[in-house]
Amino acid sequence: MGVLIDPSVLFEHERGRLDAGPHLDAHAGAPFFLSVVSAAELLRGVQLARTSRARSLRAAFAEAVVQRFPLLPVDLGSARTHARLSVELGELRRSVGAADLWLAAQAVANGLVLAVGEPRELGRVPGLRLESWLAGGG
């Protein structure tokens, strides 16, 4: 089964708090994807850097990541799933952040596992398969 990588995993790896290697190895042969939504979050981080050195380091990291993983676009299937999940979550009185809901919709629509740092509110999404890559996570 393919894996969609949440930006929280990437941020934790960049900060040295997560070694993504063993998790990538555990899915050897499975395709990995990065959402265009996640790419935007990485690029936003570059823009938010306070120093030119930090901006340069973040830019290098972001570019390496977007070159390493195929980008998964937001397509009509993801949009349909997003709409359905949004209504289902509303009916259940559960909330999920805007970017997280798009990632969840992409994962569900494409039959992917969403690799996250912490499951947080994403565990509320019906039908979403999650895998926590932080220590102690499943």
Task: Give residue-wise pLDDT tens across range 10-50.
Answer: 988 888 888 888 888 888 899 999 999 999 999 999 999 99
Q: Is residue 58 part of a domain?
A: no
Reported pTM: 0.90
| Cα distance between residue 67 and residue 85, in whole Å | 30
In a domain, 43, yes or no: no
pLDDT score of 129? 97
**Residue at 53 is within a domain:** no
The total number of structural domains in the chain stands at 1
Distance between CA atoms of residues 99 and 83, nearest Å? 13
| pLDDT < 70 regions, the chain | 135-138
Give domain status of residue 95, yes or no: yes
44 inside domain? no
**What is the domain range of residue 83?**
3-34+73-132
Task: Quote the pLDDT of residue 92.
Answer: 93
Q: What is the pLDDT of residue 31?
A: 96
DSSP 62-128: HHHHHHHSPEEP--HHHHHHHHHHHHHHHHTT----HHHHHHHHHHHHTT-EEEESS-GGGGGSTT-
CA angle 136, 31, 120 (to 5 degrees): 35
CATH number of the domain that residue 96 is part of:
3.40.50.1010
Tell whether 59 is covered by a domain: no
